[in-house]
C-alpha cells in the first residue's frame, strides 16, 4: 500500500476513535441531565465509531500494513442544550465525511482498488450519520423548549437498538 495512503488510513483510525470519545462525552453530559434515552443513543453511536475504527484496523492488518495508534484529544464536556449537542454531532459528522472523501480520493489517485472498494462502505455510512443527526436537530427545533416534548423524544431515542 502507498505510504501516504497508509498514513491517512492510520489517521482515520484516530479520527474514528476521537468520534467515539466525543459521543461518550455527550452520553455523560446527557446522563447528568437525567436524559437516559439521549445518553443511550450516544452510547450506541460510541460503539459504532469504535467499530468503524476496528474495521479500518483490520483492513490495514489484512493488507500487511502496520497500525500506528495516535493520541486522542479531549472532547468538549459541556453544552448549553440538547440542540447544541446534536448540532455539534452534525458538524463533527460533516468533518468526518470530508476526511473519508479525501481518503477515498487519495485511494483512487494511487490506484489502490481494494481501498476504493473498502471505503465505499464508509462513504455510504456517512450519508446515514449526517441524516440521523439532521433529523434529531429538526425535531429538537420543532420542540422549541426542553419540556414534556423533550422527555417524549428522549424515550423515543431510548428505543434505539
Global pTM value: 0.89
Give the Cα separation of 8 and 107 in Å (integer). Answer: 10
Range of the domain at 63: 3-158
pLDDT digit string (tens) for the chain, length 161 residues: 999 999 999 999 999 999 999 999 999 999 999 999 999 999 999 999 999 999 999 999 999 999 999 999 999 999 999 999 999 999 999 999 999 999 999 999 999 999 999 999 999 999 999 999 999 998 888 776 666 777 778 888 888 88
CB 8 within 8 A of CB 98: no
What is the number of structural domains in the chain? 1
HEC per residue, 30-60:
HHHCCCHHHHHHHHHHHHHHHHHHHHHHHHH
CA distance 123 to 130: 11
Contacts of 92 (CB under 8 A, 6+ apart): 19, 22
Residue 80, domain CATH: 1.20.1260.10
Amino acid at each position: 500500500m502507498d505510504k501516504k495512503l497508509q498514513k491517512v488510513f492510520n489517521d482515520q483510525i484516530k479520527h474514528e476513535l476521537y468520534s467515539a470519545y466525543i459521543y461518550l462525552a455527550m452520553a455523560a453530559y446527557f446522563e447528568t441531565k437525567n436524559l437516559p434515552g439521549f445518553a443511550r443513543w450516544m452510547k450506541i453511536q460510541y460503539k459504532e465509531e469504535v467499530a468503524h475504527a476496528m474495521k479500518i484496523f483490520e483492513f490495514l492488518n489484512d493488507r500487511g500494513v502496520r497500525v500506528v495508534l495516535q493520541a486522542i484529544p479531549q472532547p468538549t464536556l459541556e453544552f448549553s442544550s440538547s440542540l447544541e449537542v446534536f448540532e455539534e454531532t452534525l458538524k463533527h459528522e460533516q468533518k468526518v465525511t470530508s476526511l473519508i472523501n479525501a481518503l477515498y480520493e487519495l485511494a483512487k489517485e494511487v490506484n489502490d482498488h481494494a481501498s476504493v472498494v473498502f471505503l465505499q462502505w464508509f462513504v455510504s455510512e456517512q450519508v446515514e450519520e449526517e441524516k440521523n443527526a439532521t433529523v434529531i436537530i429538526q425535531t429538537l427545533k420543532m420542540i422549541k423548549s426542553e419540556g414534556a416534548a423533550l422527555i417524549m423524544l428522549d424515550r423515543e431515542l431510548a428505543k434505539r437498538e
